Chains A and B, each alone.
Chain A
C-alpha cells in the first residue's frame, strides 16, 4: 500500500482532532476523507503531508517511516483549498517552482523544465495562460494551476484539501469529472478531503467517513451508502427522516403507533429509524393519518413536506409521479415506507 496510518493521535489544547486513527491507502487509488468540519479530516491530510506533526502514532509512505521527514523530503503533492499560488509568479513559474528549487545536481536543465511545464500545462488545459499571473485567472483555472504545480515534482502521493471547496457549483462539477478522468489516466495515489458527500461518492474509489477524530466507516461509495455502519454515517450521507421508535418483533413503532415500519438489523427495544426521502411513499387518502404541508419543486424533482402527528417528514419523488398522484398542499394522505434502517439508541 502507498500510505499506512497507524494510531495517529493529535490534540490542539483540549480539543482532540484525531483519536488513534488507523488507515491504509492503497497504491493508485483515489480515496476521499469525508466528514463534517471538526472531524479531523484536514488534520489527518496535513499530517500525511508533514505540515502538522501528530502527538502519537506512525506513518508509512511507500513502506518508509515518514514522520521524521520534512514536508520537502516526502515527495508529496499538496493542493490547498484556496490554491495558495505564488501571487508574484506567472502560471509558468508557479508550475516550474518545484523543479527550480531542486538541489543543483538533481535540477533539470532550463530546456527540460520548460518542456515539462509545457506538458503539465497541456495536461491541465492551461497552455495559453502560461504568462498570466494567478490574479488574472478564474477560481477553476487557479485550482488547475495548483494541481499542475503539485504534479510537477512527480509526487508519489497527491493530497488535496477541499480542492473544490472555494468554487461555484457548476465549475465544481466540471472540475470533479476532470479530476476523475485525470486520475484514471495517471493513476497517482490520491487522497482528498471533502465535507460534500455527493463529491465523495461520485469521485472516490473508497470513502472514509470521519467524525469527531475517529473513522466511522471505510468502504466503496456503494458500500457506505447502502450499508452504513452507524447512525452517523447514515445521517451524513444524504437527506434523512429520523424517527425515535421502539422495536418489537421486527416492527418499529413510532410515537403512539402512528407509524409501523418493518425494521431490519435485529435491533430490539428503543431505537432510531432512518428513512431516505425517496424511500418514503405518499398516496392520497382522504382519511389518511398524514397531511401534506408543502410542496417544493426543485428542477426535475419535487420535495414534499408531510406532517404526521406532529412529526415533520420529507418525501422526494420526480415531478411526473407528483402529477400522477395529483396531490396539493393541504391534502390528507397515507404514507408507506419501502426501506428503513434501524439503529439501537
Chain B
C-alpha cells in the first residue's frame, strides 16, 4: 500500500502527467519525406488490385481440384513436357541474350560508328512489335522453304521452324532489349580510370575485362537475364507460329493453358497456371537473392 502511494506521489510530483510516447510504427525510420502512410497505403492497394487479387483468384480457382486433383493435373506427361519446353528454352534464350545483348550494349556504348543511333533504336523494336507479327515473320523466315530456313536445312541439315530451336529463336528475339537496356546505362557510367589503372598495373585487356569490367556490370546483367527469362516464360504470340505446337515436343505452357480453356477445363488451366507461377516466383527470387549478394559485396 505504502509503496503504491509513494509511486503515485512521485508521478504527481513530476508534473502530474506522464508523457506517453506515440507508439513507433514497426519498420519505420524517421524521415523528412512526408506522406509515408499515404503512399504505402496506395502502393499496397494498387499492387493488390493489379497483381495480387488476380493471382489469388488463379490459386483459388485451382484449389477447387483439391490437393490430389491439383497434383495429378500438373504431373501429366504432357504438362511436364511443356514445363520443360517453356522453362528450359526460356533459360537458354535468356542465356543467349545475356551474352549477345551484352555485346550489343558494349558496341553501342564503346564505339562510334555511322548509323549508331539507328542500331540503338532497332534494339527496342521487339518491345514495340506485336508479338504475333514477330512470330509470323520468324516462321516465314525459318520455314523449310524460307530465306534462312532453306539454306540452313540444305547446308547444315538444320531444321529451325517447328522445332525447339525455333522457339528458342523467338524467345531470344523478344528478350534481347531487356538485357541491352539494363546493361547499357551501367556500362556508360563505368569510370574509364579504373580500366586505365588496370592497364598501367600490367593487366591485359582480357584480365581487365574479367576482373574490373565484368564484376561491375554483373548485377545489371543478371537483372537483364531475369527479365528476359521471365518474359520468355510468359511469351505466347511469337512462339505459337514458329513452334509447330506438337504436344510433348514443342508445346509451351501458355499454349497448353489456352488449349485447356478451350476444352472448358478451367480448373486444370488454373492448376497449370498456379504451378507456373510458383516455379517462376522461386526462380526470380533466387536471381534476386543472387543479385543482392553481388551488390552487397562492394556497394557499401
Contacts and interface: CB of A to CB of B under 8 A. Distances in A.
Contacts of A150: 200-201
Given A84-B194, A88-B298, A77 B200 contact: yes
B199 interface: yes
Interface string B195-213: 0111111111001000110
A150 B203 CA distance: 13
A101 B200 CA distance: 11
A133 B300 contact: yes
A102 B202 contact: yes
Interface of A: 49-51, 70-74, 76-78, 80, 82, 84-89, 97-98, 101-102, 133, 135-136, 146, 149-150, 152-153
B207 A101 contact: yes
Contacts of A98: 201-203
Given A80-B193, A82-B193, A101 B201 contact: yes
Nearest to B193: A84
B202 A101 contact: yes
Contacts of B215: 88
Given A86-B211, A97-B203, A153-B202, A78 B197 contact: yes
A86 B204 contact: no
B157 interface: no
A84 B197 contact: yes
Nearest to B294: A88
7 contacts: A72-B202, A84-B191, A98-B202, A101-B202, A136-B300, A146-B197, A152-B201
A93 to B, nearest CB: 9
Contacts of B216: 87-88
Given A71-B196, A102-B202, 5 more contacts: A49-B200, A51-B196, A51-B199, A101-B211, A149-B201
Contacts of B299: 87, 135
B200 A97 contact: no
A342 to B, nearest CB: 44
Contacts of A72: 199-204
A97 B195 CA distance: 12
A82 B191 CA distance: 10
A82 B193 CA distance: 8
A135 B300 contact: yes
A84 B201 contact: no
Interface in B148-206: 191, 193-194, 196-204
Contacts of B203: 72, 97-98, 101
B29 interface: no
B28 interface: no
Contacts of A77: 200
A149 B194 CA distance: 12
